[in-house]
Amino acid sequence: MAKRINKIQEFLDEKDIDALLIKSKTVKKWMNTMTGSGCQVLITKEHGYLIVDGRYITEAKEKEHDLEIILHNPHLTGRNYLGTVEEILKKENCKTLGVEAYQVLVKEYHEIEKLGIEVLLLDQEIAHLRIVKEDEEIEAMKKSIAITDEIYQKVIEHIHLGMSEYEISALVQYYSIASGAQQMSFDTIVATGERTALPHGRPTSRKVKAHEPIMIDFGIQYQNYQSDMTRMCFIGEPDPKIKEIYDVVLKAQLAGLGAIKAGAKGKDVDKAARDVIEAAGYGEYFNHGLGHGLGIGEDGEGPTLNSKSETVLQEHMMMSCEPGVYVPGKYGIRTENMLICKKWQQNEYGAFLHFEPLTLVPIDLDGVDLSLFNEKEKQLLTDYQQFVYDTLSPHLNEEESAWLHTLTL
């Protein structure tokens, strides 16, 4: 945790801010410290403090090793934790205090103002501290995503006609916890038939029917880090129109994957995918951004891939790529992979980046008409299927490896 304290202190120096008050669970998790409601973190340019009330003092002494633990007792002082914050700020001669804008209520903000210092509301500046992932974060997220891939394979083995969306969701939950997940990343999305046109459709008692699309979108938390994936599956041959849209969405995802280059912004990647869907005549039915960042972020994580994102993509940023087409009252198709931005090659023109897939669930080629794909798209699809095979096959038995090989091009 010490290096993350240092990272915050470097941020304070850069922005000329004397101290930062941290209240959000997300940032406290990122710092690997106590996350309870009675635990507040105060970082100054020289020191780091964990301010706790009596409910947390014993646990703090057992777990905390990098922050100075300070007990505040509101029953004795008649003040909340801000009394302790005021003492520290005066001791260190702090004139400015940054706070997380989305964590401070209006009443609390006015109380902070009464401390006699300049209060700075920070939002994306704090999130940006976590946007480029460290090696240990990447490893934790790779594990979280790998577990998610395994869960999905287990779930689809049990899906059958007449099964309700509730039952599919329950299977996802069961296999997630049984596989070591702390909890789900978000409320699991399970939708079937015409309900797949709801991008965030929550499960209902609706039952699976033949030839209809089934959308499953879920993620888990493992060692505090999240995963997220969406896949479509079918029982029986899907309607030709659904297959057409499936191909369009897959082509859009491949276009997004191919759009990364040095200096590319989030909006450039979004546009590459969105142009494919618009050219196919479904632009009005793609009603969300292409992707979002991933990490600890219960409050959201960067970078975003949408039409307004000015974030310049860098190595070790992690994000989703999830184009979708949703025709109200009929059907919806979305496919989602998690990606990491990696250095690809370096030459006299500079450094080139590419997206490396982290989601290792092969694309079901039964619904894909390869005659509609150009050579670049075919190569991107080939590369992904081969990458999945090369990564997973050493860990599979002969029968499983042979089946996976059938999905390579």
Q: Quick one: which of 278, 125, 287 has its CA closest to 198? A: 287
pLDDT above 80 (res 124): yes
CB distance 351 to 343 below 8 Å: yes
pLDDT-based confidence at residue 351 (cuts at 50, 70, 90): low
Determine the CATH number of domain 2-129.
3.40.350.10
Domain with CATH 3.40.350.10 in the chain: 2-129
pLDDT above 80 (res 108): yes
pLDDT above 70 (res 207): yes
Q: Which two tokens stand for residue 233?
A: 């599956």
Using CB atoms within 10 Å of the CB of residue 386, give its burial: 0 to 12 exposed, 13 to 18 middle, 19+ buried. middle
Calculate what percentage of the chain has a pLDDT beyond 70. 97
pLDDT of residue 349: 52
**With a threshold of 0.85, does the pTM exceed it?**
yes
pLDDT of residue 261: 75
CB distance 138 to 340 below 8 Å: yes
Tens digit of each residue's pLDDT (9 = 90 or more) over 159-199:
999 999 999 999 999 999 999 999 999 999 999 999 999 99
DSSP code at position 17: -
pLDDT-based confidence at residue 70 (cuts at 50, 70, 90): very high
pLDDT of residue 267: 96
Non-local CB neighbours of 378 within 8 Å, separated by 6+ positions: 370, 409
Q: Quick one: which of 169, 167, 168, 175 has its CA closest to 149? A: 175
pLDDT of residue 168: 98
Question: 393 or 250: which carries more pLDDT confidence?
Answer: 250
CB distance 148 to 227 below 8 Å: yes
pLDDT above 80 (res 366): no
Mean of the per-residue pLDDT values for the chain?
91
Determine the CATH number of domain 135-405.
3.90.230.10
- State phi, psi for 230 to the nearest 5 degrees: -130, 135
pLDDT of residue 346: 64
Tens digit of each residue's pLDDT (9 = 90 or more) over 257-292:
888 777 899 999 999 999 999 999 999 999 999 999
Tens digit of each residue's pLDDT (9 = 90 or more) over 312-340:
999 999 999 999 999 999 999 999 999 99
Domain with CATH 3.90.230.10 in the chain: 135-405
Question: Which of these ranges, 4-18, 290-304, 391-405, has the smallest mean pLDDT?
Answer: 391-405
pLDDT of residue 353: 78
